[in-house]
Structure 1
Amino acid sequence: MTTTNTAPLLSAYDDQMRGAPPTLPTGVTCEQDGPLLRIVGQFRGFVSGPRDLGVEGEALDELIVRQRDFFAARGEAVEWKTRAHDTPADLTARLRAAGFVPEERETVLVARAAGTAVGEPTLPDGVTVRRVTADADMRRIAAMESVVWGQDRRWLADDLIGRVATAPDDIAVYVAEADGEVVCAAWLVFRAGTEFASLWGGAALAEWRGRGIYRALVAVRAALAVSRGVTCLHVDASDDSAPILRRLGFHAVTTTTPYVWTPPAG
């Protein structure tokens, strides 16, 4: 059995995927606060940092509180994206102490793009896949995702619409449909100036899972990435998706957990 050395993949991820996105939707801004990247103007704030923050103890506490208070003043929630291999090791404990709450952990997977774009995707009878750009389709995707996750995800339509309007060449959105209904959706986000593109979405209605649709959307997006000269694909995968992606040639390099602070009700 061949074991893949994932260290180069993790190094590439750390070096290329943790800085400011090359393009942002209209109304979204990116700024630095010390070692941190802070994104403002999305459905909730976003904070991330390098592998080693280079800040410890009371100085780290002050940095965390500053982010929380910045978004509190805006009346917005904020996500601090952590990775399991980051330092200092007590970052997550200090986030909890400041009122941040962990959401579901995901596995960071990386693959060589060419290795995942093999063969034609197979779809169930009656299911078709198409790339979409219309605002109405983004709203249909958000409605489907709201059903899948059991929460209001109308914000997703605004996010996708903004991305397509701002930089249409940087995102490719796909839907799988049956009898005119969106049963699964996924998108590919290119990251100019890097070797990477990222796979996002991939949610499917419960009755359509386990029928190859998710896998087909991975293949379609991988083929597009290869055609655009992308070397590596990245996914933050749920426990449901990670086994499928591993079978398609993806390798786990670390895990990621969002820590979220939410303004008190009222």
Structure 2
Amino acid sequence: MDHAAVLALYDRDMREGARPESSDARVERTGGVVRHVGGEGGWSGVLWSDLGAADADAVIAEQVAYFTGIGHEFEWKLHGHDRPADLGQRLTAAGFTADAEETLMIGETADQLVAAEPPEGVRIVPVTDRAGVELMVEANERAFGHDGSWLRDLLHARLAADPDAIVAVLAMAGDVPVSSARMELIPGARFAGLWGGGTVEGWRGRGVYRALIAHRARIAADRGYRYLQVDASDQSRPILERLGFAPLSTTTPYVYTR
């Protein structure tokens, strides 16, 4: 993989050329910024910017005024290669709060098309209804140790508004959910986004996480996506590197709450 070329393609395809994540969302381009305005339960924020030191503060203030004016909390998704170099400091000074930094990792879908089956006694099932959503929230809460209400709201909204744009899956051991993950598929893009992969303690290190990646990769390949994209935590980065994903940049969510 040509890392520089793929990163430039990612910026053009998923950020500067972003498409709405659902049918009730919209993408707007204004003043060196591409912003996403989410629909019900959706994500709102700045996806891409190309700013100079002279205009960055004014553009940040414009985005704050816009999103607060429509009543949306929002996120400025800062990438490590964005300009100007001190953009993160400027966002903090404007009232944003930085969440944990993650690593932007990209893999080729074809490289993940392997016979990675879950361990004996575990099966992978799709999430398509309210009962499945509740099991997915349960798995997420047990895996990550925090409230999963946000995931419940997101899944209900996305499955109702645009079910073809999201793939949600569970790993079940009997009647017990032991892992969950989702994939976001934006029509016309070349990158499928892998999100939320988490396995409950006691089932880690047994191939469940790998099986969920391979399962989603097969779906992405069938739908014509060449690349898989992950914002990886420090815990998942080494696993993904062993699977052939390449670290291309960093991402840090800067959140603005009124």
> Over the residues paired in the alignment, what is the CA RMSD in angstroms?
2.1
1:109 aligns with 2:105: yes
TM-score by length of 2: 0.89
| Gap runs ≥5 in structure 1 | none
Partner residue in 1 for 2:226: 231
Query: 116, 124, 130: which one pairs with 1:129?
Result: 124
Q: In structure 2, the residue corresponding to 1:49 is in which secondary structure?
A: strand
How far is the alpha carbon of 1:82 from its aligned partner?
A: 0.5
Q: Work out the CA distance in 2 between the residues paired with 1:210 and 1:257.
A: 27
Q: Work out the CA distance in 2 between the residues paired with 1:85 and 1:127.
A: 40
Q: Is the 8 A contact 1:46 1:80 kept in 2?
A: yes
Partner residue in 2 for 1:211: 206
Query: 85, 96, 99: which one pairs with 1:89?
Result: 85
- Superposed counterparts of 1:163-182, under 5 Å: 163-182=158-177
Q: Work out the CA distance in 2 between the residues paired with 1:139 and 1:34.
A: 41
Q: Work out the CA distance in 2 between the residues paired with 1:63 and 1:39.
A: 17
**CA offsets, 1:97-126, max 9 Å, x none?**
1121211111111111111112x2232232
Q: Is the 8 A contact 2:108 2:226 kept in 1?
A: yes
Q: Is the 8 A contact 1:44 1:76 kept in 2?
A: no
Q: In structure 2, the residue corresponding to 1:259 is in which secondary structure?
A: strand
Query: 239, 246, 255: which one pairs with 1:244?
Result: 239
Q: Is the 8 A contact 1:43 1:155 kept in 2?
A: no
Partner residue in 2 for 1:47: 46
**CA offsets, 1:31-55, max 9 Å, x none?**
33422213244466322214xx134
**CA offsets, 1:134-165, max 9 Å, x none?**
12212321233234333322121221222222
Q: Is the 8 A contact 2:168 2:181 kept in 1?
A: yes
Q: In structure 2, the residue corresponding to 1:133 is in which secondary structure?
A: coil
How far is the alpha carbon of 1:192 from its aligned partner?
A: 1.7
Q: Work out the CA distance in 2 between the residues paired with 1:122 and 1:132.
A: 18
Q: Is the 8 A contact 1:25 1:162 kept in 2?
A: no
Q: Is the 8 A contact 2:20 2:27 kept in 1?
A: no
Q: Is the 8 A contact 2:143 2:179 kept in 1?
A: no
**CA offsets, 1:225-258, max 9 Å, x none?**
1222221111111111111111111111111111
Q: Is the 8 A contact 2:20 2:36 kept in 1?
A: no
* Paired AA for residue 44 in structure 2: G
**CA offsets, 1:162-219, max 9 Å, x none?**
2222222222211001131221111122222222211111112122222111011001
Structure 1 range deviating more: 28-37 or 248-257: 28-37
Q: Work out the CA distance in 2 between the residues paired with 1:163 and 1:176.
A: 20
**Count of aligned pairs:** 255
1:11 aligns with 2:19: no
Q: Work out the CA distance in 1 between the residues paired with 2:224 and 2:171.
A: 25
Q: Work out the CA distance in 2 between the residues paired with 1:190 and 1:6.
A: 22
Q: In structure 1, the residue corresponding to 2:202 is in which secondary structure?
A: helix
How far is the alpha carbon of 1:95 from its aligned partner?
A: 0.4
Q: Work out the CA distance in 1 between the residues paired with 2:19 and 2:158.
A: 12
How far is the alpha carbon of 1:25 from its aligned partner?
A: 5.0
Q: In structure 1, the residue corresponding to 2:139 is in which secondary structure?
A: helix
Task: Report the CA distance shift for 1:156/1:242 in structure 2 as closer, same or farther (over 3 A).
Answer: same
Partner residue in 1 for 2:188: 193
Q: Work out the CA distance in 1 between the residues paired with 2:142 and 2:118.
A: 22
Q: Is the 8 A contact 1:44 1:77 kept in 2?
A: no
Of all paired residues, the percent bearing the same amino acid is 40
Q: Work out the CA distance in 1 between the residues paired with 2:208 and 2:144.
A: 18
Q: In structure 1, the residue corresponding to 2:91 is in which secondary structure?
A: helix
Q: Is the 8 A contact 2:138 2:177 kept in 1?
A: no
Partner residue in 1 for 2:96: 100
Q: Work out the CA distance in 2 between the residues paired with 1:176 and 1:20.
A: 31
Structure 1 range deviating more: 162-171 or 12-21: 162-171
1:24 aligns with 2:19: no
Task: Report the CA distance shift for 1:112/1:212 in structure 2 as closer, same or farther (over 3 A).
Answer: same
